[in-house]
Amino acid sequence: MSRHGQTEREIADCVGAIYEASTGGGDWHQVGDRLRRLTNARRAILRVPDANGSSRNLLMNVDEGDAVYAAYYHSIDPYTSRARRDFSEERSGHLGRARIGAEIVAEDAFLRSEYYADFARRHARRHMLGGMVGVGQANPIGLFRDDTSQPFGAHDVRLLEILLPHLQRALELRERLGLVAEDACLTRAALDSVTVGMAIVDAGLKLHFLNEAGRRHLDHGASGLGSMRSGPYAGNGVYLAARSRQDAARLRRLIAPATASGTGGAMRIEGRDGAACAVLVSPAPAGLARDRGGHASGGPAEGLAMVVLQRLGRAVAPSVDLLCDVFGFSRAEAEVAAALSGGASAEDVARLRAVSLTTVRSQIRSILGKCECENLRDLEAAMASLSVLAPARP
């Protein structure tokens, strides 16, 4: 597996872990582990307020650094104070955007600060990659490297930006589901208040739960996905169904492993109106799988998957930057790949870019090689899952 393919897989797994944690099934530390592995960071911090008025890191266990931070250094943290200000002033401009430390606080000022000299230097927080997510209040998320490592780069920024919308949604979910208190019990019904479509299905795509938003989505006649009542008995339940044979097969291939061994993934499904739907699949969080209110009967828990559905509006290709990062394309290759996955033929691309067909052909070969795709169909699938993972910003 190439590094690029690997990254794509790791992103998908991380997204799965995020939803799993947010709906009470998984554990936020796993999200922390995955984030750190993806970005090669020593520490990962997502601070959220806790019940007794202070804040707590969701992503890792407390270390000595956290203890001294909580005791004093939080009060002189130059990033936080700056970020809070930005966030309160122009929320939408910051939400979902990742920054490296030097963009927020100038390097020289940072290196001269008491915060750096007495705290950050000693606790592996030399380099910072951060962002803001939150409901009502800004929660800083930070990834840190120590001073023996390279600073974070544009690649890391984009990786985090892929994940921030998911983290944002996860925090919204977590709040709505009342999981702020650790022992809160989750019921599937609570998912009805969530605006994103959510379904719990088994390996046969039988729906064990569908929230209101999901129902609206599946009832939409033009959507590429629908629901289908099944027999032979009138009460045999409802299945998640794709309207085309090919999509149905892809959906099955995505869902079956998620119900069994726990790897998720993503795909997009084109509707009849040209609007696309993002489908994110991950193993069902244990809390949802176990829900007594659902159809799942007793006995050993059968494998279930969670499917998150989101209408994407008209089809969007992943950004050129993202393609360069994830697959290691040159800009020209990224543009060609984007055009191809938008439905253009090699001839179209040659005409549009005013280059020879031979050039385009050799670019295609190189593109397929770099993303380890057998053919243009595979490429299209890879691009589709990327654009699902990195939804266009609102």
Partner 1 sequence: MRDPVILPPRQVNRGPEAVPLTDLRQYVEALRRLGELQEIDVPVALDLEVGAITRRCYETGAPAPLFKSFSDHPGNGFRILGAPGGTSCQPGLRLARVALALGLPPSSNGLEIVEAIADSLDQPAIPPVVVADAPCFEHVTTGDAVDLTRLPVPLLHHGDGGRYLNTWGCIVARMPDGAWTNWSIARMMLVDGQRLTGIVAREQHVGMVAQAWAAIGKPMPFALALGVEPAIPFICGMPLPAHVDEADRLGALLGRPIRTVRCRTIDLEAPASAEILIEGHLHLDEAIEEGPMGEFAGYVPAEPPTRRPVYHVTAISHRTGAILPVVVAGEPVEENHTAWGIPSAAQILHDLRAAGLAITTAWIPLESALHWLVVTVPRDWRRRTGIEDSAALCRRIGEVVFAGKAGAVIPKVIVLNDDVDPTNVRELVWAFATRCHPQLGHATFEHIPAAPLLAYLRSSEKVAAATGKIVYNCLPPDEWGEALPIRASFRHGYPAEIVARVRHRWAAYGFR
- Site residues for partner 1 per CB under 8 A: 203-206, 228-236, 239-245, 247-249, 252, 256
CA distance 210 to 241: 13
DSSP state of 206: B
CA distance 167 to 173: 10
Residue matched to tokens 């939080």: 74
Q: Which is nearer to partner 1, 210 or 360 (CB)?
A: 210
Q: Which is nearer to partner 1, 207 or 317 (CB)?
A: 207
CA distance 342 to 322: 16
Query: Where are the extended beta strands (E) located within the chain?
Result: 43-49, 55-57, 98-100, 127-133, 139-145, 197-202, 207-210, 225-229, 238-242, 265-270, 275-283, 304-314
Nearest approach in angstroms of CB 230 to partner 1 is: 4
Q: Which is nearer to partner 1, 163 or 225 (CB)?
A: 225
Nearest approach in angstroms of CB 173 to partner 1 is: 28
Nearest approach in angstroms of CB 259 to partner 1 is: 10
Q: Which is nearer to partner 1, 53 or 231 (CB)?
A: 231
CA distance 48 to 34: 19
Q: Which is nearer to partner 1, 180 or 241 (CB)?
A: 241
* φ/ψ of residue 129, rounded to 5: -125, 120
CA distance 144 to 115: 14
CA distance 105 to 85: 13
Nearest approach in angstroms of CB 184 to partner 1 is: 34
Name residue 270's amino acid.
E
Nearest approach in angstroms of CB 265 to partner 1 is: 17
Nearest approach in angstroms of CB 308 to partner 1 is: 19
Q: Which is nearer to partner 1, 66 or 247 (CB)?
A: 247
